[in-house]
Amino acid sequence: AIAVVGVSVAAWLLLRLELRDEVAGDLGQQVENLALYHDPTKLASPPAWVRPDVSTLFGVVEPNGSSRRPKFQSAPLPVSPSDVAVAIGDTEQTYRDVSVDKVHYMMVTQHSVRGDAVQLAADMTDQDNTLTHFAVLLIGADAVAIVVAAALGYGLTVAGLQPVHRVAAAAAHVAHTQDLRAAVPIARREPAEVASVAASVNHMLMALGTSREAQRQLVDDASHELATPLTSLRTNVDLLLRAERDPDRHLSDVDRQRLLT
């Protein structure tokens, strides 16, 4: 998702840069012609190169900060300190975005041979609409791409974790049944990481089985070693009890003491 959004943002910014560069290039050529040969405020009508379907505004900035506009133009262009600096001659040319009657324009201010500054602004509505439509298209494409990527990623993750689930199920079976001989199966095409985990679990089960067998052997050995003395004790106690219950089986004091000892 991050990659898709990043590529889309880069594509949108690249298109915006291309559109702005195209407009800036046209403005630069026209404003240089005006700065050298024409005072736009003295034009009776817009020049022939002005498109009738695109609003283009003209202006002249004096070094004292005052501005003028052609008679055929109703709205003046805004003047900033940077425009005054161009008129004075401190700066040759500046570009900036302005808003006139709530319409977005790109404006260039160029120092002229007459000692003032010529302003030329181009309507950016078409470019803005193009960028908006492109952004909507990118958002839709990004949404589809992200959903597809998420579905593929989920499916691949589930498939990739199947061996891990199998190892977990085998370990749970051993914990439930206490059968340490139930080794985790390792398939021939098992991923190396999963095969390593399964082998480690099997080694652990073998170690636990060996430990349990050793404990069982210890208990058997202890039982065998204790069987003979316990039998002797039971025999002696049984003999003493019989002697107590049956007067005919009287034991001498020496035999009695020996048995007790």
Q: Binning pLDDT at 50, 70 and 90, where does residue 97 land?
A: very high
Tokens 């240089």, residue? 32
Q: Which residues pair with 105 in a beta bridge?
A: 98, 123
HSE-CB at 182 with a 13 A cutoff on CA atoms is 14
| Ordered strands of the 67-68 beta sheet | 67-68, 56-61, 117-123, 103-111, 93-100
Gap between the Cα atoms of 44 and 101, Å rounded: 23
Q: Which residues pair with 34 in a beta bridge?
A: none
CB-CB neighbours of 239 under 10 Å: 15
Going along the chain, which residue ranges are E strands? 56-61, 67-68, 93-100, 103-111, 117-123
Element (H, E) at 44: none
| pLDDT at 53 (0 to 100) | 66
pLDDT of 106 > 70? The answer is yes
Tokens 């006139």, residue? 100
Task: Convert the pLDDT of each residue in 148-200 to its tens digit.
Answer: 999 999 999 988 888 778 778 877 877 788 777 777 777 777 777 777 877 88
Gap between the Cα atoms of 172 and 154, Å rounded: 25
Q: Binning pLDDT at 50, 70 and 90, where does residue 235 land?
A: confident
Q: Does residue 189 or residue 215 have the better pLDDT?
A: 215
Q: Based on the number of CB atoms within 10 Å of its own CB, is 240 exposed (0-12), middle (13-18) or buried (19 or more)?
A: middle
Gap between the Cα atoms of 57 and 78, Å rounded: 11
Q: Binning pLDDT at 50, 70 and 90, where does residue 17 land?
A: very high
| pLDDT at 167 (0 to 100) | 78
pLDDT of 84 > 90? The answer is yes
Q: Based on the number of CB atoms within 10 Å of its own CB, is 54 exposed (0-12), middle (13-18) or buried (19 or more)?
A: exposed
pLDDT of 201 > 90? The answer is no
| pLDDT at 111 (0 to 100) | 94
pLDDT of 44 > 90? The answer is no
Task: Convert the pLDDT of each residue in 122-132 to its tens digit.
Answer: 999 999 999 99
Q: What is the pTM of this model?
A: 0.63
Is 87 within 8 Å of 117 (Cβ atoms)?
A: yes
| pLDDT at 248 (0 to 100) | 73
| pLDDT at 109 (0 to 100) | 95
Q: If you average pLDDT over residues 25-32, what whole number do you get?
A: 92
Q: Which residues pair with 100 in a beta bridge?
A: 103
